[in-house]
Amino acid sequence: MKINQVEIGTIIILDGNYFEVGKITHTHLGRGKATIELIVKNLTTGQTLTRNFKSDEEVKAVDSEEKDVEYLDQDKTNVYLADSDNRRYSLAKKNLANQIDFLKTDLTIRAIFIDDRLVRLKLPIKAKYLVVEAPPGLKGDTVQAGSKVVILETGAEIKAPLFIKAGDLILVNIDKKEYLERVKND
């Protein structure tokens, strides 16, 4: 596929690895050929790279499939998941980067498959989590700019306002690992 046919979300192969295109910038300087800058994310490691291409270069695009999966369990090296047909999959923890801290059973997870092989999980941007441990927020404790570190039901640690206590349900931005708001318990 020609580089100028690539769209955001296309999965391509670079240096033997799968990358998802996140941003495309076209530039044309003077009399030279146009260049296309791609910001791509490695589907295995999560690393983001910027690559420049000439407008007549070609890249290899890959067909992928996305479907919902459910988190089942994990051990020291792998995470185990299942789809709606009860087919089971595993993915190495090292391929999950920071997402591992936010996996839980009632979370809708999108899985990306290439050639029927699970290569990446897409967690939602926001999700609700129960706070299981929170130090008391002391009035006048402004050394940490009005925030404290709390521990979520999954074991993840994030900064939250001083008024958050154990037992609270909060909305978290998973990508940025940050507190968004307190949610009423249903």
Which of 122, 155, 170 is a domain's end point?
122
Which pLDDT value is given to residue 127?
A: 93
Within this chain, do residues 13 and 26 fall inside the same structural domain, yes or no?
yes
Name, in order, each residue with C-beta under 8 angstroms of 19's C-beta and a sequence gap of 6 or more. Answer: 11, 12, 13, 40, 41, 42, 43, 49
Tens-place pLDDT, residues 93-105: 887 777 888 999 8
Which pLDDT value is given to residue 140?
A: 59
Regarding beta strands 60-62 and 65-74, do their DSSP bridges make them parallel or antiparallel, or are they unpaired? unpaired
Which pLDDT value is given to residue 142?
A: 54
The CATH code of the domain that includes 152 is 2.40.50.140
| Count: domains in the chain | 3
**Helix (H), strand (E) counts: the chain:** 0, 15
What's the domain range around 101? 65-122
Does residue 152 contact residue 131 with C-beta atoms inside 8 Å? yes
Within this chain, do residues 140 and 177 fall inside the same structural domain, yes or no?
yes
Mean pLDDT across 131-152: 77
Identity of the amino acid at 154: T
